[in-house]
Amino acid sequence: MQPILKRQFIIIILPAVVLFLVFGLARELNFIKPGQFVIPSVLHSVLFILSAITAIAGPLFLRTLFAHSMREKTQVPAKEFLSFQKKNLWLSLVTPYFAFVAVLCDFPRFYAAAIVLMALYAVYYYFPSQKRIDFDRKIFRVK
């Protein structure tokens, strides 16, 4: 199960990492100038809220829904648990893409820093380590 989730994690996160690297290189080589990409200030707070939803609230909500749907069962099938873990990865790892937009569009420091911190949290917390998977398997009584 862990290799499947790690592969999924890498597939989702790799484009965001590449975007950050290319963007950083383009900034260093002055291909992109600060303030070149501007979006309305209303979208700063919208993206901040979406980042909080995808990094924190959404995965917590999915976890609660999964636990609620499995409350009657004595054992959870591994296939359903894997599906839940994949959905959680997809939802939480949208946040690094929001962080890229915040950095690219030169958001105010508060918003940019908060979105980047939420992205780092999502990447760190939802990394499919064996220890975390074993802990979740034990909690949800996975076969």
Per-residue pLDDT of 35-50, as tens digits, reads: 778 888 899 999 999 9
Asked whether residue 143 carries a pLDDT value surpassing 80, the answer given is: no
Total domain count, the chain: 1
User: CA 43 to CA 53: how far, in whole Å?
Assistant: 15
Instruction: Give CA torsion, residues 131, 134, 140, 143, to 10 deg.
Output: 170
Domain that holds residue 81: 2-33+40-140
pLDDT band with cut points at 50, 70 and 90 for residue 130: very high
CA angle 15–115–127, rounded 5-degree value: 55
User: CA 20 to CA 25: how far, in whole Å?
Assistant: 9
Tens of pLDDT, residues 88-128: 999 999 999 999 999 988 899 999 999 999 999 999 999 99
Q: Kindly report whether the global pTM for this prediction surpasses the value 0.85.
A: yes
